[in-house]
Amino acid sequence: MRKTASAEQAGPAEKAGPAKKVGSTKKAASAKKAASAKKAASKTSASAAEKATKSASKSAAVKKAPAAKKVVVAPKKATARLKGAAPAKAVVHPPGDESRTALVRRARRINRELAEVFPYAHPELDFTNPFQLVVATVLSAQTTDLRVNQTTPSLFARYPTPEDLAAANPEEVEEILRPCGFFRAKTKSVIGLSKALVEDFGGEVPGRLEDLVKLPGVGRKTAFVVLGNAFGRPGITVDTHFQRLVRRWQWTGETDPDKIEAAVGALFPKSDWTDLSHHVIWHGRRICHARKPACGACPIAPLCPAYGEGETDPEKAKKLLKYEKGGFPGQRLNPPQAYLDAGGKPAPPLGAG
C-alpha cells in the first residue's frame, strides 16, 4: 500500500515533466521568431539607411555648386619690364565692375606701356605723299600691308599722279594689282578716286574727313589713316586688329566700327588718337594675335582681362612673336630709320621671298 501511494504521488510529477518541455519548446520557438523578426527589421532598417544615404548623396551631387573657374594670374616674369607695375595681380575687373574713372586710367596706362614697347610705331604702308597713301590704303583691304608695299612700286612708277592713274587703261592696272587680290574691284576704286581727285579737288587729296569719304573706296578707316599720317590730324583707325584688342581689353563691348571709334575716342585726348591706333595695331600684329595670343610674352599682361586666352609659358609665347619682336622682317620695304635703329628689318621686294 505504501508503495502504491508513493507511485500515485509520483504520477503527477512525471506527468508534469512533458508539460514543462512543451512550455520550454514554445518559449524557444517564440524567441527564435523574435530574433528572426529583429534580424529582418535590422535588414530593412539597413536597406532603408543605405537608400537614404544614396538618395542624400544623389541630392548633394545635384545641389553641389560647380567648381569655380580657376583665375589665371599674370606671372612676374611676364610683367618684369613694366615700370611700376604691381607684381602678379589677378586679372582686372571687367567694365561691369569697373568705374568709368578706373577704365579711363587703365586704358591710358595700356597706351603708355605700348608706347614704350613700340616707340617706333608708324603706318606700315610705304608712301611719300597723300596720294600714294590713300591709294595704298584702299589696296590694303583684305590683304596684308606687305603685299601692298610689294605691289605699289610698280603702280606708282607707271602712274605717279592722280592725272596719270585717272587716264590709265584698266586692264593694265589690273595686271599690276593682281597680287593684291580682288584686283578688278580695286582697279575700279583707285581709277575712280583718281578721277574724283582730278575733277573735284584739282588733283589734290583733300584734308577733310567729309571730303575724303566721298572718294570711291574710301571709308572712315581709310580717311583717318590719311588724315592722321599725311596731314597730322588726329583720327582713330578701327581695323580688324584694333577691334579685336579693344574688346579683349574690355574698353568697349561694341562691334560696329563707328561705335567702337566713338567709345574708345572718349577714353583718350584727341591728340593721342593717331599714335594710339598705331600702338594697338602693332601690338595686335606682333603679340596679341587673333588665334594664338602670346600672353606669356605680353608687356601689359597685368592690365589685360583676357590674360590666359593664349600661351602663358614665356618660352613658348616668345616663339609666337612676329616681325621685329620675333627677329623677322617687317612689312615696309622702306621703313623709317627709327624702326631700323630698333633692330627692325625691311621687307623683301615682290618675288624675293
As annotated, the active-site residues are: 221, 239
Q: How far apart are CA 344 and CA 329, in angstroms?
A: 7
Q: How far is CA 183 from CA 87, 125, 146, 170, 195, in A?
A: 50, 18, 16, 10, 18
Sign of the C-alpha dihedral computed for residues 139, 142, 148 and 151 taken in this order: negative
Grid coordinates given for 288: 596679341
Backbone φ/ψ region at 88: left (φ over 0), alpha (ψ -120 to 50), beta = left
Residues with Cβ within 8 Å of 202's Cβ and at least 6 positions away in sequence, in order, are: none
How many CA atoms does the CB half-sphere of 272 hold within 13 Å? Answer: 17
Place of cell 599714335: 275
What single letter denotes the amino acid at residue 221?
Answer: K
Give the separation between CA 262 and CA 271, rounded to whole angstroms.
15
